[in-house]
């Protein structure tokens, strides 16, 4: 970046600008996935929409790229890039809840933990991710799957409006009434259209849920997965949760001699009366005897941070994703061949049910392109040791190759890796054509290209 542009940027923003050679550069350029080692020209810790607009204008003047970082959880590391200017939203984390209107205004760099804690003060919540440290920004713009999705839709279905800095530096509000095409595209089209500095969400009455994990022998996997697939078709919407392949962590509720072994697990998060919830959970115990469990009433924010310890910052990440109509008997043998090979306690395979309220929204009402699917599958390779990169990446790839024939085509954009970019059109699904039209209108020069990119 030219010194002239950099000097003018430094003098025009309120936030810090950290360049190569500055103190804290290595910390500022790092993202959550430790596999990503990139050297941006500068990281700008933006303080408001005007700071973001200044960075975008500087990048346009200089011809350099812009990487936008919300929570920094992107597996392909889209929140940083060689030679780019990074819009770091890490200081835009204010969350203001209005209990009167059951809405929350959320800064573009907030994490779900911040939203859950603030909303819980009023017995409210909205659909967010299952890990508290994930960013609201990337997760919502790609769709947003979580425990409350069957009850209240994807995170993007609860978005009421957004303050957006566009590629030309203008700051606009997008909602059903203002910039409606942009608002449509923000709800599933990822970070392709601008930088969201504020989100406004609708909230719902949610306080104590009934949930936690339950581990079953691999030998009981077929019965548990088949039961889940059947149960979830008609399960009440307050039932949130998903089956998984997971190595049991060394925690007090896991028998000491079984920690470190792979299991078929079910994570429950039921937002309903405890007595009724306990009956749903008992249904699974009636199918097979759990090896370990820690299920009971807890505050919703506690459930949303229960697994945080398994995914600390600084792991290596390689993920693949697919949409499924069902967990069919034909596909089960592929899952049962590869799932139990889950290589580390950090890695996991989740089958997220996305029926219920997610299906209430018309397929073309938002940009999220796969409303026909009943499950979003993620094969999430996560491990601490870079020496294991080849082997663990191979596990993810082999698993994905085995289940691809049973999948609907495309994968959830937030669960994909960098090498999934060539499949962008199928990943955005049926709405890709309209997304390109909106991209041409709002970002014809593809300023915002560090994402699962929609080519203008």
| Contact residues for ligand FAD, defined by CB under 6 A | 32, 68-75, 78-79, 89, 108, 129-131, 134-135, 137-139, 141-142, 144-146, 190-191, 195-196, 311, 414-415, 450-451
CB distance 53 to 7 below 8 Å: no
- Minimal distance, residue 403 CB to ligand FAD, in Å: 19
Nearest distance from residue 315's CB to ligand FAD, in Å? 9
Residue 174 C-beta: closest distance to ligand FAD, Å: 11
Inter-residue contact 350 to 265 (CB < 8 Å): no
Compare residues 291 and 435 and give the one whose CB is closer to ligand FAD.
435
347 or 451, CB closer to ligand FAD? 451
Element (H, E) at 141: helix 136-142
Angle formed by the axes of helices 221-234 and 329-338, nearest 10°: 130
Report which of 233, 214, 237, 231 is spatially closest to residue 285, judged by C-alpha positions: 214
User: How wide is the angle at C-alpha 432 spanned by C-alphas 431 and 434, nearest 5°?
Assistant: 70
Whose Cβ is closer to ligand FAD: residue 138's or residue 169's? 138
**168 SS3 class:** coil
Indicate the residue among 227 and 415 with the shorter CB distance to ligand FAD.
415
Report the residue count for the chain. 456
If the CB atoms of residues 190 and 211 are measured against ligand FAD, the closer one turns out to be 190
CA angle (207 as vertex; 197, 186 as ends), nearest 5: 25
In contact, 216 and 288? CB cutoff 8 Å: yes
| Smallest separation, CB 453 to ligand FAD (Å) | 9
Q: Which residue, 65 or 262, has its beta carbon nearer to ligand FAD?
A: 65
Instruction: Kindly state the smallest distance separating residue 307's Cβ from ligand FAD, in Å.
Output: 8
User: Minimum Å distance from CB 238 to ligand FAD?
Assistant: 18
How distant is the alpha carbon of residue 456 from its chain centre? 24
Q: Do residues 68 and 88 touch, judged by C-beta distance below 8 A?
A: no
- Which residue lies nearer to ligand FAD by CB, 114 or 196? 196
As given in the structure block, the two tokens for residue 148 are 């409350």
Least distance in Å: CB of 64 to ligand FAD? 15
CA 393 and chain centroid, separation: 20
């Amino acid at each position: 970046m030219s010194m002239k542009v950099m000097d003018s940027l430094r003098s025009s923003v309120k936030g810090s600008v950290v360049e190569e050679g500055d103190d804290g550069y290595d910390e500022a350029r790092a993202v959550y996935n430790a596999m990503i080692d990139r050297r941006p020209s500068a990281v700008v810790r933006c303080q408001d929409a005007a700071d973001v607009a200044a960075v975008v204008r500087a990048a346009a003047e200089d011809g350099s790229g812009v990487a936008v970082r919300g929570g920094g959880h992107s597996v392909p590391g889209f929140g940083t890039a060689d030679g780019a200017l990074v819009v770091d939203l890490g200081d835009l984390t204010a969350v203001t809840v209005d209990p009167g209107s059951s809405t929350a205004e959320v800064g573009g760099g907030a994490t779900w933990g911040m939203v859950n804690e603030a909303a819980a003060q009023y017995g409210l919540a909205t659909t967010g991710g299952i890990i508290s440290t994930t960013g609201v920004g990337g997760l919502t713009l790609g769709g947003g799957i979580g425990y409350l999705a069957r009850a209240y839709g994807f995170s993007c279905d609860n978005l009421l409006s957004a303050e957006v800095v566009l590629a030309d530096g203008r700051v606009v509000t997008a909602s059903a009434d203002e910039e409606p095409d942009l608002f449509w595209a923000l709800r599933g089209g990822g970070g392709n259209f601008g930088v969201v500095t504020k989100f406004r969400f609708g909230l719902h009455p949610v306080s104590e849920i009934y949930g936690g994990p339950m581990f079953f022998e691999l030998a009981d996997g077929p019965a548990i997965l088949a039961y889940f697939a059947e149960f979830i078709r008609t399960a009440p919407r307050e039932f949130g949760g998903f089956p998984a392949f997971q190595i049991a962590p060394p925690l007090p509720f896991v028998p000491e001699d079984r920690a470190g072994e792979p299991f078929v697990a079910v994570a429950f998060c039921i937002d309903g009366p405890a007595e009724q919830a306990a009956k749903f959970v008992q249904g699974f115990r009636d199918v097979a005897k759990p090896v370990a469990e820690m299920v009971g009433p807890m505050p919703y924010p506690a459930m949303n941070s229960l697994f945080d310890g398994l995914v600390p910052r600084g792991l290596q990440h390689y993920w693949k994703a697919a949409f499924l109509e069902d967990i069919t008997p034909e596909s089960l043998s592929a899952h049962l061949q590869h799932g139990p090979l889950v290589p580390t306690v950090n890695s996991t395979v989740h089958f997220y049910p996305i029926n219920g309220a997610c299906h209430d929204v018309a397929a073309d009402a938002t940009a999220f392109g796969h409303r026909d699917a009943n499950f979003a599958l993620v094969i999430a390779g996560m491990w601490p040791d870079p020496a294991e990169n080849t082997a663990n990446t191979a596990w993810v790839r082999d698993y994905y190759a085995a289940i691809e024939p049973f999948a609907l085509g495309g994968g959830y954009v937030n669960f994909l890796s960098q090498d999934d970019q060539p499949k962008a059109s199928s990943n955005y699904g049926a709405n890709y054509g309209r997304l390109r039209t909106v991209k041409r209108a709002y970002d014809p020069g593809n300023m915002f290209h560090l994402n699962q990119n929609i080519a203008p």
